[in-house]
Homo-oligomer: A and B are copies of this chain.
């Protein structure tokens, strides 16, 4: 039992974990095994330990839910509307993370009966105010695609420029011109030509590039 002179809220982190799969932007959702909202889909997250930093808590959740580390993580917003949780006053510090396509090894932990990737374009009803959290995260992601290198964090260690262009097209939802796209990304010198090529199908092999600073998002322009 822990006692305080004044009532204290509980503090959680919720984390919006994005990835790209099958040409779609997806978020990781867990099916809640406990009340409230039992059986309902929700964002991974949980209570912040009393001696644990906020980002540390988010990284812990991320690792527990997807097994990945060293990815792009950013604080999104703090949600604290009274009654957003029926149990007690809960203030949630939301984070969002970008997980490269090749790094995900989802292994749901004990709290969740299952964890699954859901396309952003057709999300189920979500517990609490998680719909709103996902919405804000998508908005932030889309905005940052324009003026930062955030998109590179979706890429595996080695990737082709066509793959990268596809990522931008999916998130922005518009087709891009190949020549202009290449001009722009090659002007920015944060990606390197590995010298290697990858053969995929009956056509010319593509050059492979790497992103120098995985896990970061530099502001450009």
Contact = CB atoms under 8 A, between A and B. Distances in A.
A8 B10 CA distance: 6
Contact of A4 (B1, B6, B82, B91): B1
A93 B80 contact: yes
Interface in A1-58: 1-11, 47-48, 50-54
A48 B9 CA distance: 9
What number of copies of this chain does the assembly contain?
2
Nearest to A92: B78
A62 to B, nearest CB: 17
Contacts of A80: 11, 48, 53-54, 93
A169 B53 CA distance: 38
B5 A8 contact: no
A6 B47 contact: yes
Contacts of A188: none
A50 B9 contact: yes
A4 B11 contact: no
A52 B84 CA distance: 12
A81 B93 contact: no
A50 B91 contact: no
B2 A3 contact: yes
27 contacts: A1-B3, A1-B4, A2-B4, A2-B5, A2-B6, A2-B7, A3-B3, A4-B4, A4-B10, A6-B10, A6-B47, A7-B50, A8-B8, A8-B9, A8-B50, A9-B48, A9-B50, A11-B11, A11-B91, A50-B82, A51-B82, A51-B89, A53-B81, A54-B78, A75-B77, A75-B78, A91-B93
